[in-house]
Amino acid sequence: MIFMIMALFILAVVIVWIFDVHTVLHLKARTQNAGDAAALAAARWQGISLNLIGDLNILQALALSRGDTNASEQIKNVQARLCFVGPLVGLLASQQAAKNNRAYVNPDYTANLLAHADLVLSYYAADTNRFREPYSGAWPEYGGMLANIAAQGVAAGPDNTWYFTDSTDSHWLLSRNFYEAVAGLDWCWFYWHGLTTLQSYSDYQYWLDLPTAQPSPNTYNCEVFGLGLLPFTDVLPYGTNDVEHMNRLRSDRGISTDTISNEVAGMVCTWYGYAWSAWTALAPTNDFPMISDVKPEYDYTGADVVIRVEAQPDSRMPTAFPALQPFLIKASPSSGARLTQAAAVAGAVTWTAAGKPFGYLAVDGSPVRPDAYNLVLPAFHNVCLIPVDTATGSNAGAYDLAWRRHTQDHLPTYMLSGLAGLEADCWYCQQMQTWEDSAFRQQGIDWLSDTNHTCTPSEGGPGQHGGTRRGH
Ligand SMILES: [Zn+2]
């Protein structure tokens, strides 16, 4: 009888376990679908917005051609608004896409967006010297739109949101990679990013001061899914070449039958151009996570989106078993769903996905980058998912709320008072505790002095160390 009871008990545990595996895998697939769909929807709206702003550049040239200053002013105003409205429609579309794929509203994300809307309405709007309005009345309008979107519930967090108050500087303590290197004993990360710090670190006073926010940020672009544009008031950068190209696009797209005259080339006006750079320049240390070369016509960075979706598994396991869940989720190699360290503690499934609009301009039958003329022109035809590490983003990590709390609340007190300033239940603070232990650092110094020849830059890919921070 005792044997039977034991056997039945084991059987019961196995059944519950299998059921749980199924639930978690199902949830993982659902979270991934929701995140990917949301990223594609938002990136599509970035492409649409860029094409509209490009069409308006052509309409601007037509207005100048006709000498219609009234239309010219209105076009400028519409372009400035589109830089905000376009990406926000993308945010709205991404929420719909995530919800259509059965992602639930995340109360933390919703509260975060609502709080930011309040900040725009109070803080930004009150200090328009520092937060310059791209058009008059921009902040009340922008804050209102954010609040409206938040009111419908946020399911997919816009993870590469770049707040105007976020710093652009880099600091180890503001790099998630540092904490993950500590947690994963990834000594090669220290080998590549600053062996001196590992060797000569003493205590919290060793760190350079945390960077403070920029005095006056570029406020032409929306914080959420910004297009990376830069209006400039000047003559056309490529003169009559620009006019010729605009005339070609004008007739191809059926915008107007009038011709833009060459005189426009010499007229000073406000045009919308790009503040973009080479995509591959995101990772100058040769660890851009792509196996083959990026085609030159696609090698631009600027507009892209990163989405974060979280879901909580509804576990049937007794309380002793949730410890298994991170293992279960990590154990499945077929999909790249990955627990962020902070979420792993809570047992949540997190999926991050990145998307980007692609396109090119045709010059003499061959494709060139959309920013080849440094003038926004309608050039975008497609959207793709891209590896998360090849997307732009702020160090502050917009919708990784545990990380944001760490950088905003815990680090400043740590910089003042060292270990006493850390929070016991914050995963990042726990890594700081580990790092502060000189025996821990000595372990790394010893390992590297023996085996540093094994530190080779990774080509990237799911689950590897080096170039990639997240699985894709
Ligand atoms: Zn912390």
CA–centroid distance, residue 423 to ligand 1 (Å): 5
CA–centroid distance, residue 194 to ligand 1 (Å): 22
CA–centroid distance, residue 160 to ligand 1 (Å): 20
Q: Enter the pTM of the model.
A: 0.79
CB atoms within 10 A of CB 81: 15
CA–centroid distance, residue 197 to ligand 1 (Å): 21
CA–centroid distance, residue 432 to ligand 1 (Å): 8
CA-nearest of 179, 201, 188 to 433 is 179
The helices-and-strands tally (H runs, E runs) of the chain is 15, 8
CB atoms within 10 A of CB 196: 8
CA–centroid distance, residue 439 to ligand 1 (Å): 22
CA–centroid distance, residue 331 to ligand 1 (Å): 28
- For residue 326, the cross-strand partners are none
So what's the pLDDT on residue 314? 64
Give me 127's structure tokens: 């200090």
Which H/E stretch holds residue 453? none
CA–centroid distance, residue 410 to ligand 1 (Å): 5
* Three-class secondary structure of residue 195 per DSSP: helix
CA–centroid distance, residue 403 to ligand 1 (Å): 7
So what's the pLDDT on residue 357? 96
So what's the pLDDT on residue 18? 83
- For residue 408, the cross-strand partners are none
Contact 228/86 with Cβ under 8 angstroms?
A: no
CA–centroid distance, residue 412 to ligand 1 (Å): 10
What is the pLDDT tens value at each position of the chain, 472 positions in all? Answer: 899 999 999 999 888 888 878 888 888 899 999 999 999 999 999 999 999 999 999 999 999 999 999 999 999 999 999 999 999 999 999 999 999 999 999 999 999 999 999 999 998 898 888 889 999 999 999 999 999 999 999 999 999 998 888 876 678 888 888 898 898 888 888 888 888 888 889 888 888 888 776 666 789 999 999 999 999 999 999 999 999 999 999 998 888 889 999 999 999 999 999 988 888 777 655 566 666 778 888 888 889 999 999 987 765 554 445 455 554 444 333 333 334 444 444 567 889 999 999 999 988 888 999 988 889 999 999 999 998 878 887 767 778 888 888 988 899 999 988 888 889 899 999 999 999 999 999 998 888 887 656 776 554 333 333 333 443 3
CA–centroid distance, residue 31 to ligand 1 (Å): 26
Amino acid letter, 363 = V
- Cα separations (Å) of 147 from 112, 114, 141, 281? 10, 6, 10, 35
- Whole-angstrom distance, CA of residue 38 vs CA of residue 25: 20
CA–centroid distance, residue 198 to ligand 1 (Å): 20
Amino acid letter, 24 = V
CB atoms within 10 A of CB 264: 21
CA–centroid distance, residue 413 to ligand 1 (Å): 10
CA-nearest of 75, 26, 125, 101 to 307 is 101
CA–centroid distance, residue 344 to ligand 1 (Å): 15
Name the residue with tokens 């974060």. Answer: 308
